Amino acid sequence: MIEFKDVSKIYGKVKALDDVTFTVGAGSVTGFLGPNGAGKSTALRILLGLARASSGSATVLGLPYAELARPGLRIGALLDAGAQHPGRTGREVLTLGAMTLGLPRARVGEVLDLVGLTERESRRTIRGYSLGMRQRLGIAHALLGAPEVLVLDEPANGLDPQGIHWMRRLLRDLADAGCAVLLSSHLLHEVEQVADRIVMIGRGRVLAQGTVGELSRNGGLEQTFLALTAHADRSPGSHTGPGVEASRGAGPGRDA
């Protein structure tokens, strides 16, 4: 469903991605795990046609994103929960999205129910939303077309524990229904809880990939990830910032 093949991206003298190769199959959740600045967002932008690879290819459903017919109906994506007009209501954002995709307005109510935003909350302007509510709205927008592929960048940011539990269950249900889910995060525990496979990236390179069980051998998944990330940090030509959070929570913010 998703394939990265030898994808590299160079900005001036900086190599943001270095021969990234991995796949995401139907009916599975793949965790794209790495510290902030590892290259995760750059890879997702290339996949969704928002940036161009310097070399290699990234395809979804067998084609580059730009070559797909009506991709919004087949691929749902959330890259930035804050990228919505603050003066619009949540319902207005979803209604515009549904109209753009040629979907009935009834779909708006369905996805609002799916992500747990109430009718009253949907009538509020987005400037009054918490980060957790913006995440839910962004996921609702991504799900408008009942996509075959779902791409999410740091969707747990701002969610409270109940919201995180809800998100895990939603992603699991979508994967069990046949959706291919690519979940990017710098939080080891959140990826570990829901993913079938994990791709670890650091300094723009894939450091390891496999099932959670495979990567948990020889000292545990957390130790493996920290060791691999530390190795990448020592490599010449590195360009990213601080290391990974192997925390047991989603960080600050309340889903309220």
Q: Note the pLDDT tens digit of each residue in 106-165.
A: 999 999 999 999 999 999 999 999 989 999 999 999 999 999 999 999 988 888 888 899
Amino acid in position 89: T
Identify whether the C-beta of residue 36 lies closer than 8 Å to the C-beta of residue 242: yes
Amino acid in position 201: I
pLDDT in tens, 10-67: 999 999 999 999 999 999 999 999 888 899 999 999 999 999 999 999 999 999 999 9
Identify whether the C-beta of residue 187 lies closer than 8 Å to the C-beta of residue 225: no
Q: What residues does each domain of the chain span?
A: 1-74+148-256, 86-146
Q: Max Cα separation, the chain?
A: 54
CATH 1.10.357.10 for domain 1-74+148-256, yes or no, is: no
SS3 58: strand
Helices in the chain by DSSP H: which ranges?
40-47, 90-101, 106-115, 119-122, 131-142, 161-176, 188-194, 212-215, 221-233
